[in-house]
């Protein structure tokens, strides 16, 4: 059974992947290695995890606006997330997602940290304005 959750569209697109939950906000400049997609900040909630091809769920972005270009670099290096889900998007991640063609949504009807577990298969249809939790 799939569960469909309405959300707000920030960057259009459709993608599917396995969920990676990060309770911490993310600064793409500094927290993530743009060559490997691995989170390199030892103090971060998902330190050591690789964000490549994941449905990356985090509260919001933070830090330098150059972070938008780091997201673009991740995409060019084929190590970017498949899609991103925020509680509330802010401009750094929003702009980074748009220039990199990575679907981004926020303000889900249900709290993503309650409804998703790490490894869940999720489809983000940002163009359609919904997220689907598959195979439950």
Partner 1 sequence: MYLTAEEENVLDGEQGETLRKAMEILVALGDIYGADGLIPVKSAQIAGVSYKTIGDAGLEWISNLEGTVKVPSILNPAGMDMLRWKEMGIEPEFAEKQLEIIAAYEKLGISSKCTCTPYYLEGFSATCGDHLAWSESSAVSYANSVIGARTNREGGPSALSAALVGKTANYGYHLDENRVPSVSVVVDHELSGSDYGALGYIAGKEIGNRVPMFHLASTPTSDELKGLGAAMAASGAVALYHVEGVTPEAKQVHFDKPDENITIQRSQLDEVYETIIGNDDDLECDIVAVGCPHCSPEELNNIADLLEGKKIEKELWVCTSREVAQRYPDVVKRIEESGSKVLCDTCMVVSPATEGHNCMMVNSGKALAYVPGMCKVPAMYQKGWW
Q: Does 31 bind partner 1 (CB under 8 A)?
A: no
CB closer to partner 1 out of 46 and 92: 92
- Count of positions (residues) in the chain: 136
> Closest separation between CB of residue 59 and partner 1, Å?
14
Q: Does 36 bind partner 1 (CB under 8 A)?
A: no
Q: Does 84 bind partner 1 (CB under 8 A)?
A: no
> Closest separation between CB of residue 112 and partner 1, Å?
18
Interactions with partner 1, residue window 106-135 (CB under 8 A): none
Kindly write out the interface string for residues 11-30 of this chain, putting x where it contacts partner 1 by CB under 8 A and - elsewhere. xx------------------
List, by residue number, the catalytic residues.
Answer: 64
Decide the pairing of beta strands 104-106 and 8-11.
antiparallel
CB closer to partner 1 out of 27 and 120: 27
- Sign of the CA dihedral 41, 51, 93, 123? negative
Asked whether 129 and 9 are in contact (CB, 8 A), the reply is yes
Decide the pairing of beta strands 104-106 and 83-86.
parallel
Chain position carrying tokens 């980074």: 96
Q: From residue 51, how far is each of 2, 10, 127 by CA, in Å?
A: 24, 19, 22
Contacting residues toward partner 1, per CB under 8 A: 8, 10-12, 34, 65-66, 68-70, 72-73, 76, 88-92, 94-95, 98-99
């Amino acid at each position: 059974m799939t569960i469909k959750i309405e959300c707000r569209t920030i960057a259009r697109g459709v993608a599917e992947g396995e969920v990676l939950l990060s309770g911490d906000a993310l600064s793409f400049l500094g927290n993530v290695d743009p060559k490997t997609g691995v989170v390199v900040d030892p103090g971060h909630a998902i330190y050591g995890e690789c964000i490549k091809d994941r449905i990356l769920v985090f509260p919001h972005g933070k830090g330098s606006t150059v972070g938008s270009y780091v997201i673009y670099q991740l995409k060019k290096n084929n190590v970017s997330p498949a899609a991103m889900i925020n509680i509330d998007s802010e401009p750094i991640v929003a702009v980074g997602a748009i220039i990199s063609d990575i679907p981004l949504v926020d303000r889900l009807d249900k709290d993503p940290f309650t409804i998703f577990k790490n490894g869940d298969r999720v489809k983000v249809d940002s163009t359609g304005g919904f997220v689907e939790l598959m195979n439950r």
